[in-house]
Amino acid sequence: MRKFLLIAMAVALCLPAMAGSKKKANKDTDRFRYEIECAGNGTQGTYLIKVWSYSKKARVAAEQCKKNAVHGIIFKGYTGGNGCVAQRPLAKNPGVELEYEEYFNKFFSDSGEYYKYVSLTSAAQDIVKVGKEYKVGVVVSVQKDDLRKALEAAGVIRGLSSGF
C-alpha cells in the first residue's frame, strides 16, 4: 500500500510539469517563430525540409518543429538551395490564416490534423544556443500533396484546376 501511495504521489507531481511543458510549447508555437529551408529532394508528393524552431528549452523547440514545418508549407514556402527549387506556400492568399482562424486553431491543436502530414526523417537534431534561447533544427518530411487535398476539401485553398 505504501509503495502504491508513493507511485501515486510521484505521478501527481509529474503531471503538472508535463502539462506546463506542453503549454510552454504551445505558447512558443502560437507566435510561429521559425525558419524553414530545403533539406534535399523528397519522394514524390513530399517536401524534405529542415525547420529551425526557437524556445527556452531545446526539447520544447524540437517538439514544435513538426507543427512549424506544416505551417511553413501552408503559409511561407521556402527558398531554393541544396539542389532544391524554391516552393511557394500552398495558401496564395496571405489573409487566409485569419479568414479561417477557427479551422487553423483546430488544425494546429495538440491532437490536430496537421500531425498526419509530417514525419521526422531522423532523430538527429542541430541545437544552437542563441542568447537565452535554443534554436533547434530538425529535418522532416511533409506530405504536401495530401496536405493540399485536405485544405482544398476544407475550402481553405483553391484547387489547382479551379482556373484563374
In a domain, 35, yes or no: yes
pLDDT (tens digit, 9 = 90+) per residue, 15-57?
A: 444 455 555 555 554 568 999 999 988 889 999 999 999 999 9
- pLDDT value at residue 22: 54
User: Which amino acid does the sequence have at 133?
Assistant: E
In a domain, 2, yes or no: no
- pLDDT value at residue 14: 41
Distance CA(146)–CA(100), nearest Å, equals 19
In a domain, 4, yes or no: no
Percent of the chain whose pLDDT exceeds 70: 77
- pLDDT value at residue 24: 52
Residue 89 has pLDDT above 50, yes or no: yes
How many structural domains comprise the chain? 1
Residue 144: CB atoms within 10 Å: 19
In a domain, 74, yes or no: yes
Range of the domain at 83: 26-153
Burial class (CB in 10 A: 0-12, 13-18, 19+), 8: exposed
pLDDT (tens digit, 9 = 90+) per residue, 112-137?
A: 999 999 998 877 789 999 999 999 99
